[in-house]
Homo-oligomer: A and B are copies of this chain.
């Protein structure tokens, strides 16, 4: 849970804008792909070295440069310099764990977003930082790891004519944010399934590990909310015309995505309510079972203690105890015990204790 506190120690006192990668170590080299497109054509290239990029980006049309992996700070710096990105933006790119935000620099709009996925094995929401550098003609995206979150957008881009090819990088940026927000719904759906499963287990005493699972699902909801809440503000900024980079047509769509982000936040809240309710129910159920157990045990003891007392009385050694020599004294004593037991049982039943 405390994982997102880790990264900063190594950077205290460094000049701001210094690029130091602070995420988990990554084995493979970053993977760079470039889509050059205009309404009529689309060229898709795999880039091996940032040196190739200069001439390509100078070419006509729009360009989408995607970099998977941000641990190669030299590469990030080279790519950043191609669009005149501010060092502070690049510093954020190589520092996973940023809050989603949108910032205007002179020539570049910088967006940080957070994509979430749900690992059903580990029952854990994972999130990944997505950074977007947006200029009038070029969109650069950085992902922490290789992933296929942007796959559907790539397919729509390849698919051809439409707003995506016509409106250029600013609409493409929106489309990517929209995919990221839609992904929140998928994760919430998985968490909803987990909660439904918990709803059955919570009252079943044989079900193991309800408490850790409740705790995990609560943590996961918080994780989604922490990713979604500032994303809502980013989309509101885009929709409200506060950012000059976006066309009015795109703003209309951003308003829609903003609505979805608000909806995500609401669903998270209502699921949290459900989880809290389940948690209370679980505690109450545990406590009721415990009380029930203690009550039954105490009822048993309470039943036998008076009987033992009767037996004790007739175990006294007085020389003059008339009952002892009655022919049916023994039967009488057993009958007395049976009567006592029956009376107590009726009393208990009358009080609804058994």
Residues of A with Cβ closer than 8 Å to B? Answer: 1-2, 4-9, 11-16, 86, 88, 91-92, 97-99, 101, 103, 105, 151-153, 155-156, 162-164, 175, 178-179, 182-183, 185-186, 188-189, 191-193, 195-196, 199, 205-206, 211, 215, 218-219, 222, 226, 252-253, 255-257, 259, 262-263, 266-267, 270-271, 273-274, 277, 281, 283-284, 286, 288, 290-291, 293-302, 304-309, 311-330, 333-334, 337, 344, 351-353
Contact = CB atoms under 8 A, between A and B. Distances in A.
A257 B17 CA distance: 11
Contacts of A1: 195, 199, 270-271, 274
Given A156-B13, A311-B312, A318-B314, A192 B5 contact: yes
A332 to B, nearest CB: 9
B192 A262 contact: no
A318 B324 contact: yes
A44 B267 CA distance: 40
| Copies, count | 5
15 contacts: A2-B274, A4-B267, A7-B185, A12-B182, A16-B257, A97-B263, A211-B284, A290-B291, A293-B295, A293-B353, A297-B299, A305-B305, A314-B318, A317-B321, A320-B328
A277 B13 contact: no
Contacts of A11: 182
Contact of A164 (B15, B192, B328, B353): B15
Q: Which of A163, A271, A290 has the most CB of B within 10 A?
A: A290
A15 B183 CA distance: 14
Contact of A103 (B99, B162, B255): B255
A66 to B, nearest CB: 15
B5 A271 contact: yes
Contacts of A218: 277
Contacts of A262: 99
